Amino acid sequence: MDHSSWTIAAPAIGSAFLASIVEVVEAFTIILAVGVLRGWRPAIAGTLAALVVLAVTVIALGPLLDRIPLHSLQLVIGVLLLLFGMGWLRKAILRSAGIIPLHDENAAFLAEQADLSDAAARHQTSLSWLAGMTAFKGVLLEGLEVIFIVIAVGSGRGLTWAASLGALAACVLVLLVGAIIHKPLSRVPENTLKFAVAIMLSSFGVFWTGEGLGIEWPGQDLMLFTFAILFLITGLAMAHTLRSTPEEQLP
């Protein structure tokens, strides 16, 4: 791959990698809670079932996307990316400002175990089934978000393979680290990652929306970096403003 191809593919790979790390860490926490509390058989069975459903979804979506006109696809994906990315950016800013608490994987792990224990107390005859369904649901929901991100950042310019590579690398990294330490990945700086991912997704959102509307961006793909810098500066400024605002003056 030449230098220009890497310049185009790198944002897609990076965005999919960072976003997928966030989602896979959350899925891993659920799988680990199920495995520790109810055993690894239902955890693995639920995970494999979810992966099969996700694989079928990807296979089904591929031909459908090929039939949609490129500009229409870019416009729809751009708007969805903006909604998705701005939602993440808003939460990341509020967490950075201390207005809402940071996400804690250890707390999520304990909460998942408590939910499983409560469910087990209510359904004594189907403990393994409940555990498997918990793993299935967690992996499926997080996996669907990964698929959306891969399609969103990759399909507009035929970079689905590049985004898929980034998502796969994230999955392998999280699973390897998780298998080694065998506990929730609480040291992952999740809010920093979400802040970075939100900036990237929002940048892609503006870029694809403009492309879908027929706008020819100066510098073409290099405009992604310009948008990212603007979102970064705006996000940091808003977080700083909120941190320095007295609590009683906050809306």
Burial class (CB in 10 A: 0-12, 13-18, 19+), 3: exposed
The answer, yes or no, to whether residue 89 has pLDDT greater than 60, is: yes
The answer, yes or no, to whether residue 3 has pLDDT greater than 50, is: no
User: Among positive and negative, which fits the CA dihedral 233, 7, 13, 61?
Assistant: positive
How far apart are the C-alpha atoms of 163 and 92, rounded to whole Å? 23
Q: How far is CA 60 from CA 55, 134, 207, in A?
A: 9, 25, 26
Both structure tokens of 49? 């079932």
Instruction: State the pTM of this model.
Output: 0.69
Q: How far is CA 133 from CA 41, 50, 189, in A?
A: 12, 9, 28
At which residue do the structure tokens 């799988």 appear?
Answer: 31
The pLDDT value given to residue 23: 82
The pLDDT value given to residue 2: 44
Average pLDDT, the chain: 77
The pLDDT value given to residue 31: 81
Q: How far is CA 52 from CA 130, 136, 147, 179, 241, in A?
A: 19, 10, 13, 22, 46
Percent of the chain with pLDDT over 70: 76
Query: Which of 6-15, 50-59, 142-151 is least confident?
Result: 6-15
Both structure tokens of 80? 């969805």
The answer, yes or no, to whether residue 4 has pLDDT greater than 50, is: no
